[in-house]
Amino acid sequence: MSASELLALALDAASWALLVTGGLMLVIGAIGLLRFPDFYTRLHAGGVIDTLGADLMLLGMALQAGFSLVTVKLLLIGLFLFFTSPTSTHATANAAYFAGLRPVTADDGDKDGGPKPGEPA
């Protein structure tokens, strides 16, 4: 096996690993978004994991594309998402807090949206 074939195999494996990890993270984040008890915990699941998952998938696609304009576009989207996703998460949290939505704490019981910690939803 020549060196260039070995390099192509390594690139394939790396992009495969990045795509799988990114997809797994997106699914885990979506499950958290669905299952967590109140808005701020859902924000944590949706906002944090989506950023990393999306960037990993875009990086995996960039490795498949090789050196071309496609890679530049992918990296541009990745860079953009890397900065805008946390920004909009922060803006959403700020708007919710401003509107009077408060986090559910352990001594709130079940009077304020969602089950107690440890209880099934």
Partner 1 sequence: MFLAATIAVLVALALTLVRLFAGPSLYDRVLALNSVGTKTVLLIGLVGFLTERPEFLDIALLYALINFAGTFVILKFFRYRAVGDMAHQSMDTLSADTPRDPRGEDRR
The residues binding partner 1 (CB under 8 A) are: 15-16, 19-20, 22-24, 26-27, 29-31, 33-34, 39, 42-43, 46-47, 50, 54, 57-58, 60-61, 64-65, 70, 73-74, 76-77, 80-81, 84-85, 87-89, 91-92, 95-96, 98-101, 112-113
CA 12/CA 31 separation, integer angstroms: 29
Element (H, E) at 36: none
**Radius of gyration over every alpha carbon of the chain, rounded to an integer in angstroms:** 19
CB of 60 to partner 1, least distance (A): 7
Tokens read off for 114: 């969602």
Element (H, E) at 98: helix 69-98
* Residue with smaller CB distance to partner 1, 4 or 37: 37
